[in-house]
């Protein structure tokens, strides 16, 4: 018994790693559904001229079969950021972008489903320009087609707890998708064991994020009083546009607000305020480029998710491995169009959707990196206070609990507060991409959310 217990603490077998590495040139590992290390991928035509790509890894825990562990779907932000690329190779997948094994991969505690969403993202693609999604409703409807196809074709996952984890704009999409999935399950059109959504540094209420940028930067000594006044001024203009329902104008002003912040902070990194963003020459070029605010915003928030090294990996060895990517499509080739087509949706809040999820009894987890600016924790806390959920007062009154990534660690890694079906994790020393910045704590959080700890 002791020998068995100790063997469960050993990292994933070397054989599994070898299979994963060999898969880069030999295609998917051919195996029975219960075998560790299996990977499968495919396209789903979610509607005419719209094709969505997904990639599944079966869990690789040496002590448990995949059927004893949850299934986690990961949704990237942008919109236009690729889950199969960035989320997989930069955050939680089995290999990093240099194809080295990731010590903190979530695959050791869950099967992982990466989906390039919305259509046109990553390896997903459209055949006609009118097939891009333009709002959250279309994004969610497309995902319902994919999830129905997936669970109908992979019945071994129908009873396994299914969680949607997300990041950035992916959180906004996860909320809408989660609500539609709940309805589909109630109606009997999709069979799966939906266990909850996790909204990471999520664009749930854009205006609450924007209004908090100035105070947050000022509190961190990254703005002086004059700079604070300039940021607050443009934030109020955005608020006015949102209140009037002028969402495209609000998006344009959002771009202006980012420029004002960069000019006053010597180019602060919106994704981790302690990390330098770009060289000054590149920053100056970016600041001067104001002719098309959508192009500038997409370069800021999507291009960084498909940097040259990752793009070369995805369009090189990974494309060769997958074999099914159409010859006329490249990874990330349509991402800017995805972003631009969603322009009218950017600044719309989805607090009411989170309320509906909570009222329906769906488990909702919010988690945020301490050093994130684009979706800072102050803004997350602000929209949480706006929830109409009857249990919110009890949640608010609770004291948070300290968490440690390692049992014997003396350094606090996070705080958590949880009541009924709502939980909030404050992840310390992490920016926007929590698993990249604090892999151990992110893995621990995932295990806590999926009730493995």
Active site residues: 168, 372, 432
Strand 193-200 relative to strand 111-115, pairing: unpaired
Q: What is the three-class DSSP state of 414? A: strand
Residue 250 token pair:
């609000």
| DSSP-assigned beta bridge partners for residue 55 | 41, 114
- Report DSSP state, residue 224: -
Q: Rounded to an integer, what distance in angstroms lies between the CA atom of residue 103 and that of residue 92?
A: 9
* CA-to-CA dists, residue 51 to 122, 344, 358, angstroms: 11, 22, 31
Among 443, 442, 435, CA closest to 91: 435
Q: Are 125 and 334 in contact (CB under 8 A)?
A: yes
Strand 161-167 relative to strand 364-369, pairing: unpaired
Q: Rounded to an integer, what distance in angstroms lies between the CA atom of residue 276 and that of residue 36?
A: 40
Q: What is the three-class DSSP state of 195? A: strand
Q: What is the three-class DSSP state of 84? A: helix
Among 294, 299, 380, CA closest to 341: 294
Q: Rounded to an integer, what distance in angstroms lies between the CA atom of residue 323 and that of residue 47?
A: 23
Alpha helices in 332-426 (DSSP H): 335-341, 351-359, 377-384, 392-397
- What are the E-state strand segments in 275-387? 364-369
- Which class for 378: exposed (0-12), middle (13-18), buried (19 or more C-beta within 10 A)? middle
| DSSP-assigned beta bridge partners for residue 423 | 365, 418
Among 421, 433, 435, CA closest to 109: 435
Q: Rounded to an integer, what distance in angstroms lies between the CA atom of residue 101 and that of residue 104?
A: 9
Q: List b or e across 153-191, with b for residues whose CB sees 16 or more CB atoms inside 10 angstroms.
A: ebeebeebbbbbbbbbbbbbbbbbbbbbbbebbeeeebe
Residue 324 token pair:
């099914």
Alpha helices in 28-168 (DSSP H): 136-153
């Amino acid at each position: 018994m002791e020998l068995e217990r100790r063997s469960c603490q050993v990292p994933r077998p070397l054989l599994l790693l070898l299979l994963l590495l060999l898969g880069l040139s030999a295609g998917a590992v051919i195996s029975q559904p219960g075998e560790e290390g299996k990977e499968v991928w495919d396209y789903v035509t979610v509607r005419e001229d719209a094709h969505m790509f997904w990639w599944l890894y079966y869990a690789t825990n040496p002590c448990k079969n995949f059927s004893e562990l949850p299934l986690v779907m990961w949704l990237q932000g942008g919109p236009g950021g690729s889950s199969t690329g960035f989320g997989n190779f930069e955050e939680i997948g089995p290999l990093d972008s240099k194809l080295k094994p990731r010590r903190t991969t979530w695959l050791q505690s869950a099967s992982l489903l990466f989906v390039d969403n919305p259509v046109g993202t990553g390896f997903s693609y459209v055949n006609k320009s009118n097939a891009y999604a333009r709002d959250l409703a279309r994004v969610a409807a497309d995902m319902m087609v994919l999830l129905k196809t997936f669970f109908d074709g992979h019945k071994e996952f129908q009873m396994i707890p299914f969680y949607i984890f997300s990041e950035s704009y992916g959180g906004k999409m996860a909320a809408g998708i989660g609500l539609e999935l709940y309805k589909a399950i109630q109606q009997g059109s999709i069979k799966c064991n939906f266990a909850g959504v996790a909204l990471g540094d999520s664009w749930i209420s854009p205006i609450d994020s924007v209004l908090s940028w100035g105070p947050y930067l000022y509190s961190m000594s990254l703005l002086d009083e004059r700079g604070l006044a300039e940021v607050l001024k443009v934030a109020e203009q955005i608020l006015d546009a949102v209140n009037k329902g002028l969402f495209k104008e609000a998006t344009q002003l959002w771009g202006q607000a980012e420029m004002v912040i960069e000019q006053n902070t010597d180019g602060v990194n919106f994704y981790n305020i302690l990390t330098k963003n770009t060289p000054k020459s590149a920053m100056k070029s970016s600041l001067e480029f104001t002719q098309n605010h959508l192009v500038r915003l997409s370069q800021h928030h999507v291009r960084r998710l498909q940097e040259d090294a990752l793009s070369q990996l995805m369009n090189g060895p990974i494309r060769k491995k997958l074999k099914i990517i159409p010859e006329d499509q490249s990874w990330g080739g349509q991402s800017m169009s995805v972003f631009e087509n969603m322009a009218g949706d950017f600044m719309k809040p989805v607090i009411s959707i989170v309320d509906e999820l909570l009222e329906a009894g769906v488990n909702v987890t919010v988690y945020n990196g301490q050093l994130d600016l684009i979706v800072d924790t102050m803004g997350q806390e602000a929209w949480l206070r706006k929830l109409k959920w009857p249990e919110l007062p009890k949640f608010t009154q609770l004291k948070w609990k300290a968490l440690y990534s390692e049992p014997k660690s003396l350094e606090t890694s996070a705080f958590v507060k949880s009541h009924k079906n709502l939980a909030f994790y404050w992840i310390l020393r992490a920016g926007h991409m929590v698993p990249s910045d604090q892999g151990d704590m992110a893995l621990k959080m995932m295990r806590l959310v999926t009730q493995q700890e």
